[in-house]
Amino acid sequence: MSQPNQTDTKKSVSWFKKFQYDKNRDSPGDTRNVLLIVVALIAAVTFQAGVNPPGGVWQEGDRPGRAIYASQKHAFYVFLISNTLALSTCILVITSLTYRFPFHFEIWVATASMMTTYASAVFAVTPNETVHFRYLLIAASVPFLMRCLGYFVKKYRVGKDESQT
C-alpha cells in the first residue's frame, strides 16, 4: 500500500474546506435555511425515536405497550435523556432561527405541542419503575437554561467591560 502524498492530503483538505461555512461566501439567510433543515431532520428523528422506542413495545404479557428497551434500565436512561436533550435543543434552535418570522407564535405553539406529545408518548411507553421523570424534565430544560445563562453572562460581562472603560 502506498502512503498518501502531500498533494493528496491538500486535495482532501481543500475539498472538505469547500463545504465548510464561510462568512464571506455564505449569506445569513442561506445559513439559517441550512440550519433549519438540519435541526428539523434531527427533531424528526428524535421525536420518532421517543414515540417508537428502539426494540418496540411489548405486545403481550404483563407489560403491553411498554418499551422493551426499558428492561435495560441504564441503557434506556441514556437513550431517553440523550434523545430528550437532542429534541429540546432542536426546538430551541428552530424557535430561535424563526424569531420574528411570520407565524412565529404559531411555531411556538406547534413546538410546545410537539414537546408535550413527545413527553406523553415517552410516559406512555416507559414503565414507571424504570425512569425518574424529573431527569427527563431536567434534560429537556438544559438547552433553554444554557441559552439563558449565556445571555446573562454576556450581558453581565458587557456591562462590566463598559464600566471599566
> pLDDT confidence of 8, banded at 50, 70, 90?
low
> pLDDT confidence of 68, banded at 50, 70, 90?
very high
Q: Which residue has the higher pLDDT, 58 or 155?
A: 58
Interval 75-104: pLDDT, tens: 998 999 999 999 999 999 999 999 988 999
Can you tell me the distance from the alpha carbon of 74 to that of 59, in angstroms, rounded to the nearest whole number?
22
> CA 123, 38, 74 angle in degrees (round to 5)?
35
DSSP-derived 3-state class of residue 138: helix
Identity of the residue numbered 46 = T
77 phi and psi angles, rounded to 5 deg: -60, -50
Supply the pTM of this predicted model.
Answer: 0.78
Q: Which residue has the higher pLDDT, 43 or 3?
A: 43
> CA 56, 70, 46 angle in degrees (round to 5)?
60
